Each structure stands twice: as structure tokens, then as C-alpha cells.
A and B are shown apart, each in its own frame.
Chain A
Amino acid sequence: MSQISLVAKITFKDCIRTKGLYGIFLLGIILFAANIIFTGMFSFEIGKMAVDMGLSVISFSGLIFIFFFSIQSFFNDFEKKTIYMIISRPISKAEYIIGKFSGLGLVILFSSLVLGLCAAISFKLSVMGHEAYIPQHFTWSFFFIAILFLTLSLLIMLGISVLWTCATSHQFIGFLLSLMTYFIGHNMETVKNMILSTKIFPSDALPIKTINLVSWILPNLAVFDLKTQAAYGLMPDVISLIWIALYGLSYIGLCLIISIWIFNRRELA
């Protein structure tokens, strides 16, 4: 455990001091400022727009971090051989993977915390003087639960990018596969529902079975997107939230187990 926390600590410190990360935060803050300006243009949906944009900015910043920093950080370890500094100590490859994931995950948690507070402030400022347009059932607790689930979906994407990084030997391929998984994960539920609603195929037809199988293998990221519910204050029941959280955590665990399995077989030449 201590070896994992050591790797996590240096990864977190190294990332948090990266100048590019400040750029992401700056971009986030600019988008929040834009949020205050633009939501005023949607006179009847100010509350909904403010929540929607606020959560989208957190998601966007998190994804930039994963695609451009996390994947690069892993590949730098392999290409610049920084990993030798770690693996030549009594640290196993499994501890390295979990430590690295934890360090990068901490950066995502930190960024969600900072940008989440910015989103809350920008929401507050956007609806100031327009209190009548705040959805009737809106609650701050559900707003922050939505941020929590958004962060969980980012951690799943981080787990997936770790997996693709371990499985491929080139940074661009790792990036491309992670990006594809993100798009499929976000749209799969919609595509599945669309095909099922057309009733072209019977429920036991091969295309339906294939879609069901793929929807189990690839992450269903759409279930973590609670933006609309948060904006209208339509809180799902607690049991389904617990199931979604368990699904997310299991998916991360599975990604890490497969990553470790692959990485243990990889030569660090």
C-alpha cells in the first residue's frame, strides 16, 4: 500500500505542477464566465442552461486532461524510461499501475472539486435576479451528486486510457482507442434504444444480441450523465445511483486488472 501511495504522490505532484494543467483551469474559468453571459440569452431556461454548461465544462476539462496529459504521462514513462527510476526499486508493476492511476485520479478529483465550485458560483451568478426560472425541484445536493458521477465517469475513462496505454506501443494509438471508446460509451445507449424501438429485429435476433453484448463490454458512460436530471431536480432513486456507482467502480477495477495482466507481460526494453 505504501509503495502505491509513493507512486501516486510523485505522479500527482508532477502533474499538478505542469503548466499545461493551469491552461485547462484557465479555460475552465473562461468557460464559466461565458456561462454567465450566455445563459442570460435563454430567458426561460436560465437554470437548466447554467447547470448544463457548468457540468459540461467540468467534463470537457477532465477529458482534455485524460486525453492529453494522462496518456502522455504514461507514454513518457515508457519512452523516456522514467519508469526505470520506479521499477528498479522494490515496486511491482501492479503497484506502479495502481499508483499511477491513483495519482492521475487524484488530479481529476482535484480538478472536479475546483471546477465544481466554479460551476456552482457561475450557476449562482447566472440565476441572480432570475430566481423564478430556477427549476422548482432543484437542490444543491443533487447538483453535487451529478458532479460526483461525472467525476466517476472521468475516472472510468482514465482506467480505459490506462488499459489502452498498456496494450499499445504508440501514444497516438492509445489516444485514438481511448477517444473511440469514449464516443461509443456515450452514444451506445442511444443507438441501442433506437434500434430496439424500431422493432425491425426480434429481441433474440443476432444484431440485438451483439448490441447487448457490446453494451456489456464497453462502458455505458451515458448512465453517469445526470446533467438534465440535476438541472430539473429530477433525482433518480438512491438504489439506482448505488448500482451506477458500483458499476463504475467495478469497471475501473476490471480495467486495472487487465492493464496489470498486460503490463506484467510487457518488456521494458
Chain B
Amino acid sequence: MTIINFSEISKSFPHGFKRQLALKNLSLKINQGEVFGFLGPNGAGKSTSIKLLLNFIKPDSGKIFIKDLLVGKDNFQNLIGYLPEIPCFYENLTALEILSFCGRASNIDKKTCKDRSWDVLKKLNLEHAAKWQIRTFSKGMKQRLGIAAALLHDPDIFIFDEPMSGLDPIGRHLITDVILELKDNKKTVFFSTHILSDVERLCDRIGVLDKGHLLFSGEINQILNHGSTLEDAFVQLIKINQGKNNVTN
């Protein structure tokens, strides 16, 4: 069953007097219960796709559906747990206050919210820092708090924008375990990353994006037709696309 559906999405941003294309006719389906890795070099359009999916920005054309809900029209936020690329919080609040806000905003009652906050803090090794103000947190701790906030209301779909960025090996291991646990619980995880080893370990399917074009979407073993390893195949796909663009230009 398709749970996220990008249907012919195009998006451009103003660039001087012109508009620069960020995504062109992106069509992509993500199925329920799968871990989908979204790969691409910097500026490929990964974060733009995620922002469109969360209705932070609006597409020039095309539609996005989450389950049967149309993004930009229907309320879908309760179905989603989102981790931004660089999670930022109100620095003078404590971790517990942040989670209390996130839980209550997601319509969880006060007591359940409190219990779940402690559970997720424990899961992400942040129990000791529950009453610390965020400004005392390290980058890795903020990243883990971001994951905790995404897990708090136990949604069906998780959208993580570069979840491993800025984490030390222990932090990365922790997040990997969280994603694997979500996979075991049949949750849908859609995440963007540069780290190919994480993709090989975690993903059921992947999508490769470059300069706003979706170059590949499918299972990992299918992409290996383009190269002997995932890295080789990824580099080949990008080179072929850049060659095409140079010819077009």
C-alpha cells in the first residue's frame, strides 16, 4: 500500500531575476512499512522534497499525498514524526518542556505525554539531561532530542532529514538502532542521507536524486546494475546525469 505519493512535483525558487529549478516532475511512491533512503549530492533537491512533503513550501505543480490526504489541503501532521536536518529548539526551555509541547501539540493527554517523554528520553540516552536547558546541549544531544520529539506521539510515518549528520559513532549507532526498531514495528521511514553505508544497512528501497531529477528508484540490488558497489553505482548514475545536462546545455 502506497503511503507517500509524490505525483509530478516541480518546484523552482527565485534566483536573481530568474527562477532556478529545484525539482522537475518528481514522481515517487513509498510503501507502508518500508525504510526508504533518499540519496543525492548536495543541492540535489532532497531537503526541498521533504519541505514540500511537510507543506513548509508549496509546489509549482503536482500533488503530494500522505495516505489519502492531500498535502496543503488536509491535516496530516499527526501522522508524521519529523526530524529536521539541524534540529533547533527554544534554547531556554528544558528537554522535558520541549517534549511536553510537542506531545500536547500532537493531542496527547498530559499524563501520557509525561510518561512517553521519559520513555523516549531514556531510549535516546537523554534521561540525565531531561531538566537541562537546551542551550547547554551539544549538537549530538540536540539531534537525539529531535528524534525523541519525532518518536513521542508514535506516528506511522517518520521523515528524517540527514538523521546521522553531526553525530559521533555512538550517536549514529543509537539512531541506527532506532530506525531498525521502527522497521521491526512496520513503521514507514523516509530519510535523506549522504552516508551510503547507512543506506545499505537500513533501507528496503532507495531513490537517487540529482539536480532535481529522480535518477533511480527501487531496491538496492537493482541499482547494482550500474556498478559493483552502491558507491560505484551512485557515482555512475550522477556522472551519467551530469553528462546529459552538459550535452543539453
Residue numbers of A with Cβ under 8 A of B are 2-3, 6, 9-11, 13-15, 17-18, 80-82, 84-91, 267-269
Complex CA gap A2/B87 in Å reads 24
Contact (Cβ within 8 A) B101 A10 = yes
Give the distance in Å from the alpha carbon of A15 to the alpha carbon of B13 in the complex. Answer: 34
Closest to A90 in B: B77
Tell me the complex Cα distance, A2–B104, Å: 9
Given contacts A17-B92, A267-B58, contact A6 B104 (CB under 8 A): yes
Q: Are B56 and A87 in contact (CB under 8 A)?
A: yes
Query: What's the Cα separation between A197 and B56 when bound, in Å?
Result: 53
Q: Which residues from chain A contact B102 at a C-beta distance below 8 Å?
A: 85, 89
Docked complex Cα distance between A17 and B135 (Å) = 12
Q: Which of B78-86, B181-189, B229-237 contacts A (4 or more CB under 8 A)?
A: B78-86
Contacts of B75 in A (CB 8 A): 90
Interface string of B53-96 (1 = CB under 8 A from A): 01011100000000000000001011010101011111111000
Known contacts A18-B92, A267-B56, A269-B57; 6 further A-B pairs (Cβ under 8 A):
A10-B97, A13-B90, A81-B88, A88-B77, A91-B77, A269-B48
Bitwise interface map of B from 36 to 66 toward A, beta carbon under 8 Å scored 1, else 0 = 0000000000001001001011100000000
Q: Which residues of B contact A88 (CB under 8 A)?
A: 54, 77, 80, 82, 84
Residues in B with CB closer than 8 Å to A17 are 92-93, 133
Least Cβ–Cβ distance between A7 and chain B, in angstroms? 8
Q: What A residues does B125 contact at CB under 8 A?
A: none
Question: CA of A91 to CA of B13 in the docked complex: distance in angstroms?
Answer: 25
**CB pair A14 B80 closer than 8 Å:** no
Within the complex, what minimum Cβ distance (angstroms) separates A91 from chain B? 6
What residues on B are CB-neighbors of A269 within 8 Å?
Answer: 13, 48, 51, 56-57
Enumerate chain A residues within 8 angstroms of B77, measured Cβ to Cβ. Answer: 88-91
B165 at the interface (CB under 8 A from A): no
Is B107 in the interface zone, CB < 8 Å from A?
Answer: yes
Q: Which residue of A lies closest to B22 (CB)?
A: A269
**Which residues on A sit within 8 Å (CB–CB) of B88?**
80-82, 84-85
**B105 on interface, CB distance cutoff 8 Å:** yes
Contact (A14, B92) CB under 8 Å given A89-B105, A269-B57: yes
Indicate which residue in B82, B92, B105 contacts A90 across the interface (CB closer than 8 Å): B105
8 CB-based A-B contacts, threshold 8 Å: A6-B104, A14-B93, A82-B88, A84-B56, A84-B84, A85-B88, A88-B82, A90-B105
Complex Cα–Cα for A86 and B54 (A):
12
Cα distance, A123 to B194, chains bound together (Å): 65
**Whole-angstrom CA separation of A269 from B98 in the bound complex:** 23
- The CA-CA distance from A44 to B13 in the complex, in Å, is 66
Instruction: Determine the distance from Cα of A80 to Cα of B142 in the docked complex, in whole angstroms.
Output: 13
Indicate whether A85 sits within 8 Å of B56 (C-beta atoms), given known contacts A14-B93, A18-B92, A268-B51. Answer: no
B56/A13 in contact, CB under 8 A: no
Please tell me which one of the listed residues B84, B87, B93, B107 contacts residue A13 in the complex, with CB atoms under 8 A apart. B93
Closest 3 pairs (CB-CB, A-B)? A17-B92, A89-B105, A14-B90
- Chain B, Cβ-Cβ closest to A81: B88
Complex CA distance for A77 and B77, rounded to whole angstroms = 19
- Known A84-B84, A89-B105, A268-B56: A14·B91 in contact at CB below 8 Å: yes
Q: How far is A81 from B107 in the complex, measured between Cα atoms in Å?
A: 23
- How far, in angstroms, from A84 to B98 measured CA to CA in the complex? 13
Report the Cα distance A15→B93, complex, angstroms.
10
Check if B86 sits within 8 Å of A85, measured CB to CB.
no
Which one of B13, B57, B87, B107 lies within 8 Å of A85 (CB-CB)? B87
Query: Who on chain B is nearest to A9 by CB?
Result: B101
A81 to B142, CA, bound (A): 14
B31 at the interface (CB under 8 A from A): no
Report Cα–Cα, A17/B107, bound state, in Å. Answer: 26
Is the C-beta of B9 less than 8 angstroms from some C-beta in chain A?
A: no
Q: In this assembly, does B27 line the interface, its C-beta being within 8 Å of a C-beta of chain A?
A: no
A264 to chain B, nearest CB (A): 11
Instruction: Report chain B residues within 8 Å CB of A86.
Output: 105
Q: A14 — which chain B residues lie within 8 A by C-beta?
A: 90-93
* Nearest neighbor of A92 in chain B, beta-carbon distance: B75
